[in-house]
Amino acid sequence: MIVGQRIRRPDALDKVKGSALYIEDVAVAGALVAGVLRSPHAHARIARLDVFAARNLPGVHAVLTAADIPGKNLIPMIQNDWPVLAEGVVRHVGEAVALVAAEDREALAAGLAAIKVEYEKLPPRLEMEEALAAGEILAQWKVRRGEAEVALGRSDVVVVEGTYHTPYQEHAYIEPNGMVAIPEGPGVVVHGSMQCPFYVQKAVASALGCDLSHARIVQTVTGGGFGGKEDAPSAPGAQVALLARATGRAVRLILTREEDMAVMSKRHPGRIRMRTGATRDGHLVACEVDYLLDGGAYATLSPVVLFRGTVHACGPYRVPNVKVDARAVRTNTVPSGAFRGFGEPQVVFACESQMDRLAERLDMDPLALRRINALRAGDETITGHRLTTSVGFDEVLDKVAEASGWESKRESFPSHSGLVRRGIGLAACYYGVGLGAMGKHLNPAGASVVVSADGSVTVAVGTTEIGQGMITVLSQITAEALGCPVELVKIMDPDTSRVPDSGPTVASRTTVMSGNAIRDAAAKIRAAMEPVIADSGLNWRDAVLLCVTKQVGLAAHGWSVPPTTTFDLETGQGEAYICYSWSANVVEVEVDMETGETRVTKVWSGHDTGRVINPTTGEGQVEGGVLQGLGYALVEEHMLRDGRILNDQFSTYIIPTTLDTPEIKAILVEHEFPWGPYGAKGLGETPIIGVAPAVTAAIHHATGVHLDRIPATPERVWAALRARSVEGG
Amino acid sequence: MIVGQRIRRPDALDKVKGSALYIEDVAVAGALVAGVLRSPHAHARIARLDVFAARNLPGVHAVLTAADIPGKNLIPMIQNDWPVLAEGVVRHVGEAVALVAAEDREALAAGLAAIKVEYEKLPPRLEMEEALAAGEILAQWKVRRGEAEVALGRSDVVVVEGTYHTPYQEHAYIEPNGMVAIPEGPGVVVHGSMQCPFYVQKAVASALGCDLSHARIVQTVTGGGFGGKEDAPSAPGAQVALLARATGRAVRLILTREEDMAVMSKRHPGRIRMRTGATRDGHLVACEVDYLLDGGAYATLSPVVLFRGTVHACGPYRVPNVKVDARAVRTNTVPSGAFRGFGEPQVVFACESQMDRLAERLDMDPLALRRINALRAGDETITGHRLTTSVGFDEVLDKVAEASGWESKRESFPSHSGLVRRGIGLAACYYGVGLGAMGKHLNPAGASVVVSADGSVTVAVGTTEIGQGMITVLSQITAEALGCPVELVKIMDPDTSRVPDSGPTVASRTTVMSGNAIRDAAAKIRAAMEPVIADSGLNWRDAVLLCVTKQVGLAAHGWSVPPTTTFDLETGQGEAYICYSWSANVVEVEVDMETGETRVTKVWSGHDTGRVINPTTGEGQVEGGVLQGLGYALVEEHMLRDGRILNDQFSTYIIPTTLDTPEIKAILVEHEFPWGPYGAKGLGETPIIGVAPAVTAAIHHATGVHLDRIPATPERVWAALRARSVEGG
């Protein structure tokens, strides 16, 4: 069986050799270079926008403003509030005001410089609490289950309360956003770095006013996404397409790192107030959550990011009384958007910090508290979703506890003293796989499978390889489903002309959805082959040859529609997702009591992700997710002044390097999900979600201080240590 | 109903504006230029081939010989005798000996010049009779029906006998052959001008030794094929692919016109001996045919070209006793290959000339003789194929006779005298649609149809647009089959990664085979839509939107397998093709009796092609085919010396110009073929087949001289006139 094998990534060689062609490497002969004139203000009226001089510069081929858009000045997203180019008003620093296409970089710079814009500054709203007070609410959701307030008031209930703050996080993909558009017929072909070709397609077709079939989008090799290339690339996609149509030439728009960091989406900053109550023997009784996200200037994906945080707000536990109120607000900052974890890391930081505090208050081991309350098959989530199958949380907890030597370390570490203290912390989470109740018509996915006469197989899907290992995993699923050697499978670059809209490459849905679509197509092909090959015992190549000789057509489109979920948005009750992955991290730290510096020495990261199609890519997902989670926990945050991001380079926005990387032990637990391909669920996001609270729990274990804000920078840890010593003193 | 409408060609605007991108226009950044070192000899041993100096020249990136081919040195075709690069021996002038890829044209020229080759000349075999005598037979077929020799000896049978010669014909496509190969993974993507992407794919995969899926072939806009881009492009395709793999760079190989004319395939020269016997009242009794084709140095498609001529050798008539012996021989000349009509124009020139002579001998009107013997439903062809349906030959004859005023002109023209004499002639033919009994696993065709959420439709097929109107016709068939507006249909550039091997774009099979594959795919999509839209009365776009909302997958692969034919190659008896198109041309000429110059003043060209999907493209096929037939009849021929083509430019190889174009009246008769899409058959080739004998018949009518050799140049007509006057004198 090829599923479950550690085959080498088919795309590895080109990537390590440097021969993979990223969009910057794709040389399109005669392509113009494009740039975007961007707002320097967080909020202003455009009093005058004069492009006459710029248009007449030598080497400048097009200067476009909102008035020059033949279709709609709109990037279609949930609330349709996001313009391709600012029209009358700019609402965040870096918002696109005008586009220039020019012969070369010099002409481009001259063209951008020659555009005359006069702004009348308007008062910006920069803080989310301020926006909330002003009623600038982009989206709101709630969960109502039992009577949370009543339960929290009960005399037998111990309540902990906290307010937590989480920062912006930068996706820090290795490749900035970039697109090349080539005019074709009445439309364009756009090649570029992205997660979601069908999102870009909608944006391009909308801006050009053309049919979707004439907005053909092809994903090039993409240097990381992490959600940052989910919604955000629709903007450069539409922009470069407009310039290609306006000039009749191929046009390249590649963002600089600084530009990309300054204006593309980020993880939503969050503020979470939470009250958690349990009986003295550790049974959770109620949880009340007030969850606030800063959506930035446009809604983009804030409603669905908020939704996922809302329904997962109390962690993977049985909580009979729940009240969650979640809101995303509009501010004059860069739009926040999709980011690995998608609204969960913020609320899970709060929720799991609460569990840690509750354990302390109850004088219980934090792991024991989790075990008491862990969701199991037969239980209901806080949305009333009764879990029937593939609930491996218990086993995950057991495995990480055992592997990490949890019990002995929890006991022995506090006895240490000295400048560097050791601690071990734990945090858990669960994650609804796929788009779930909010997905609607984006839920399904397609695949086209074509078998050549020599038995080699060409597969097209609508989801993308963004480093996560899709090509590897789908090759294995194809080989398994067809019964062919995996070396014969070729996964094509995603191309919107090959399959119907297959939704986005997000939400850990790719293995399950594209995998099942491939299985559907493969089953049709096998059904066509069987009458011909019968019990011939032929190997794959010979079987295909026989079928070709017999004129059997070996191609099929497959389609995957997930099981129906029902959900009531008024009460927040129902099946939020088709199934869940389960995760727990144990993190071991050393904290320098003098500097506040935290060094993570080891992480045990356990996940029930159903059947693991490829353990190596699975472990890779865990290692990458944990490291990104450590960045979130310890070092990553954006500094803003007047709505402008001040740290827009990797020299000022710090992410973990190899030297900061601890040993990460991935532990994969396989509670198969019957509907998933060969029992698989999803693994893209759980590795990042529960890292930060495990780090802060470990810091607490080492030092005794609770942190209610991340990143846990040395300054912040030092300040907490100092505050405690002052209190203590 | 959109089928039958005169919609505008979707590809017309780009072609007339000059914005269509032919392979020469496709700018691939950083591409190397390639060239081929070719044999100056018709037959020689390669005593020495030294590429050392060439390889070390600045700007030269690769010099390849047969020894450098990683896969097989073989272009896979019927007999597998055709090398990518000559190995030890060259067998025709222009045969490829070495390949060079260089930075620019100067370096390329230097590289080619620096290759040292020493040849030892071998005696070439240049004439087909000589090759026949030497037993150099590439292929042979026969038809045996009744007792032809016995019947021709009967005393009540009038026999005419003749030996006919037909020349090389140049395809004279407007765009020379060209390919660009781009390395990708372990293989290449090849873009280029071609008819048969799957032929090129086989050649590339064979030469590289890679899987078919890694030899991805994409047809660019192609400036005409006429058969000349059926087999021949496999050579430059394999060659440019080898250079791309060897250099790791994109490589362009564009043939000059002179090179293309000198070394690419041509129509086979033919020599046909024929004895035709009929009763005195004009009933055909027997026909004996000795059919010889010059295949050139390699077999390429000669076996199947010969087959088609063999089974159609006696024209569209009932002939109870038939003996056909057909052979293609190997000579040291450029390989002959596919050409519109595919072995029929040669033999039909003989057969129809015989009919004209027989009518003269019987003192009958040539049309009357045809009517007596015309094949009708219920009759059998000379291969014993009983015709049951879609036999519109009678109506075609009636329509062209009526439209041309045949009877009155046949009577009145001979009474004219003077220097310029008028004549009217007729010839007929039939044509088996598709690959038929020789097609085997190449018969089927596939299609992928994808419907986007806005109702626009993307269609991929494995056959190609080569100017014949495929895009137009398949757009209409798609719209008809799906029930969508034709403006919403987009036909993609053919790409071997999108559908299984769908056979070649030849044999007038595209409308029928790709059309039915699209209908198959569309039927699956409609079947998925029907339960959702039911009797809602929604228009197409709204119906699609509803289906998308309901998560219905709107994509399918279709597959078309023609009805089985049975054929016995030993006797030449059976169903040679699935059905036949029927054609008759009436040609009116003026012949200058002093110079021998023939001017065609009008042509009435009638065709039963089944249902006509688009009358405008149908008429276009007829006009183009007739004009190409007029070139064959009157002016086109290649002159060779020592196996070298002397006239390799359009200044020396003459084709008809606009000024030579008479009024061509296309008459389309629709006897529907039930299995064809909406009753369609094929129309690509019948327009050219019966033109030359109609021209020579008209010359005979005008002047009284019979010509047994084409083209009927002024010199040849003048010589015939002079010979008669000498005889007469």
Tell me whether A451 touches chain B (CB under 8 Å). yes
Residues B253 and B375 in one domain: no
Question: Does residue B156 fall inside a structural domain?
Answer: no
Per the structure block, which two tokens stand in for B35?
């060239």
pLDDT-derived band at A724 (thresholds 50, 70, 90) equals confident
Q: What is the mean pLDDT of residues B407-415?
A: 95
Q: Is the pLDDT of residue A88 over 70?
A: yes
The verdict on B345 and B468 lying in the same domain is no
pLDDT at A438 over 90: no
Tell me which of B33, B454, B545, B560 to substitute to probe the interface with A (most A C-beta atoms closer than 10 Å).
B454
Name chain B contacts of A18, Cβ cutoff 8 Å.
Answer: none
β-strand partners of A166: A270
Cβ contact B453–A500 (<8 Å): yes
Chain A residue with the nearest C-alpha to that of B205: A454
Please check whether residue A136 lies inside any domain of the structure: no
What is the band of A416 on the pLDDT scale with cuts at 50, 70, 90?
A: confident
Share of chain A above pLDDT 70, in %: 100
Residue A131 belongs to some domain of the structure: no
Q: What is the pLDDT of residues B127-145, one digit of tens each?
A: 999 999 999 999 999 999 9
Smallest Cα–Cα separation from A84: which of A94, A72, A93?
A72
- What was the ipTM of the complex prediction? 0.96
Does the pLDDT value for residue B729 go beyond 90?
A: no
Query: Does residue A30 have a pLDDT over 60?
Result: yes
Whether residues A67 and A176 share a domain: the answer is yes
Evaluate whether B469 touches B617 at the Cβ level (below 8 Å): yes
pTM of the shown model: 0.97
Looking at the structure, do residues A365 and A462 belong to the same domain, yes or no?
no
Residue B55 scores a pLDDT above 80: yes
Which of A237, A263, A289 is the last residue before a domain boundary?
A263
Beta carbons within 10 angstroms of residue B404's beta carbon = 25
- Tell me: the pLDDT tens digits for A562-579? 999 999 999 999 999 999
The residue behind tokens 């037969």 is A378
CATH number of the domain at B547, please.
3.30.365.10
Q: Which residues of B touch A453 (CB under 8 A)?
A: 212, 441, 500-501
pLDDT, one tens digit per residue, over A442-500 is: 899 999 999 999 999 999 999 999 999 999 999 999 999 999 999 999 999 999 999 99
CB contact under 8 A, B548 and A457: no
Q: How many domains does chain A have?
A: 3
CA distance B27 to chain A (A): 5
Contacts of B212 in chain A (CB under 8 A): 452-454, 456
What's the pLDDT tens digit per position in A145-191? 999 999 999 999 999 999 999 999 999 999 999 999 999 999 999 99
Q: Which of A14, A211, A551 sits opposite B488 (nearest CB)?
A: A211
pLDDT at A100: 98
Q: For residue B8, tell me if it sits in a domain.
A: no
Comparing CB atoms, the residue among A213, A490, A492 nearest residue B456 is A213
Provide the terminal-to-terminal Cα distance of chain A, rounded to the nearest Å. Answer: 64
Residue A371, phi-psi category: left (phi > 0), alpha (psi -120 to 50), beta (remainder): alpha
Beta strands in A616-683 (DSSP E): 640-641, 644-645, 663-669
Mean pLDDT of B399-404: 98
Distance (Å, whole) CA B125 – CA A116: 78
Inside any domain, residue A151: no
Average of per-residue pLDDT across A387-396: 97
Do A646 and A586 lie in one domain? The reply is yes
- Residue A725's pLDDT band, with cuts at 50, 70 and 90, is confident
Encode pLDDT of A674-697 as tens digits: 999 999 999 999 999 999 999 999
**Res. B728 pLDDT band, cuts 50 70 90:** low
Q: Do A398 and A501 have their domain in common?
A: no
- Average pLDDT of the segment spanning A228-238: 97
Is the CB of residue A27 less than 8 Å away from at least one CB of chain B? Answer: yes
Which pLDDT score is estimated for A728? Answer: 63
Residue A588 forms part of a structural domain: yes
For residue A457, which residues of chain B lie inside 8 Å, CB to CB? 213
Order the strands of the A489-491 sheet from edge to edge.
Answer: A489-491, A457-461, A445-451, A555-560
Q: Specify whether A547 is located in the same domain as A608.
A: no
Whether residue A1 lies within 8 A of chain B, CB to CB, comes out as: no
Residue B535 reports pLDDT greater than 90: no
Please give the sequence-ordered ranges of beta strands (E in DSSP) within A135-177, or none if there are none.
Answer: 137-145, 157-166
**Could you give the strand order of the β-sheet that contains B284-296, starting from the edge strand earlier in sequence?**
B137-145, B321-330, B284-296, B270-279, B157-166
Which residue, B521, B539, B560, sits at the end of a domain? Answer: B560
Q: What is the DSSP track for B67-117?
A: GG-SS-S---STT----SS-BSEE-STT-EEEEEEESSHHHHHHHHHH-EE
Chain B residues whose CB is inside 8 A of the A551 CB are 441, 443-444, 561
User: 464-493 in B: which are within 8 Å (CB) of A?
Assistant: 488, 490, 492
User: Are both A288 and A247 inside the same structural domain?
Assistant: no
In whole angstroms, give the CA distance from residue B51 to residue B70.
Answer: 18
Structural domain includes residue B10: no
Query: Does A241 have pLDDT greater than 60?
Result: yes
Checking if the pLDDT of B727 tops 90, the result is no
Residue numbers in B near A475 (CB within 8 A): none
Q: Does residue A699 contact residue A589 with C-beta atoms inside 8 Å?
A: yes
pLDDT for position A26: 87
pLDDT tens-digit series, residues A506-564: 989 999 999 999 999 999 999 999 999 998 899 999 999 999 999 999 999 999 999 99
pLDDT (0 to 100) of residue A29:
85
| Residues on chain B touching A484 (C-beta within 8 angstroms) | none
DSSP state of B336: P
- What does the pLDDT read at residue B228? 97
* Full residue range of the structural domain in which residue A390 is found: 270-436+570-727
Which pLDDT belongs to residue B441? Answer: 80
CATH number at residue A61: 3.90.1170.50
Residue type, position B523, single letter: A
Which of B:408-447 have CB within 8 Å of A?
A: 440-441, 443-444, 446
In angstroms, what separates the C-alpha of A13 from chain B's closest C-alpha? 9
Please tell me which residue of chain B has the smallest CA distance to A186.
B14
Do residue B607 and residue B555 come from a single domain? no
What is the pLDDT, as a whole number, of residue B696? 98
The answer to whether residues B288 and B202 belong to one domain is no
Model pLDDT for residues B320-377, shown as the tens digit of each residue: 999 999 999 999 999 999 999 999 999 999 999 999 999 999 999 999 999 999 999 9
Put simply, the answer to whether B446 touches A553 (Cβ < 8 Å) is yes
Domain membership of residue A400 (yes or no) is: yes
Q: What is the mean pLDDT of residues A327-336?
A: 98
B581 lies in the same domain as B709: yes
What one-character-per-residue DSSP string does B152-220 give? HT-TTEEEEEEEEEE--B----SS--EEEEEEETTEEEEEE--S-HHHHHHHHHHHHT--GGGEEEEEP
- In angstroms, what separates the C-alpha of A212 from chain B's closest C-alpha? 6
The residue with greater pLDDT, A646 or A29, is A646
Assess whether the previous peptide bond of B711 is cis (omega < 30° from 0): yes
Kindly tell me if the per-residue pLDDT of B152 is higher than 90.
yes
A214 touches chain B (CB under 8 A): yes
Using an 8 Å Cβ cutoff, are B434 and B675 in contact?
Answer: no
Digit-coded pLDDT (tens) for A664-674: 999 999 999 99
Q: Looking at A560, A589, A624, which one is the last position of a domain?
A: A560
The torsion of the CA quartet B643, B648, B653, B658, rounded to 10 degrees, works out to 150
Taking CA A242 as the corner, what is the angle to CA A236 and CA A247, rounded to the nearest 5 degrees? 125
E strand map for B593-685: 598-608, 640-641, 644-645, 663-669
Q: Which amino acid is at A318?
A: R
Which segments of B255-358 are extended strands (E)? Answer: 270-279, 284-296, 321-330
pLDDT tops 70 at residue B683: yes
Considering the domain architecture, whether residues B368 and B230 belong to the same structural domain is answered as no
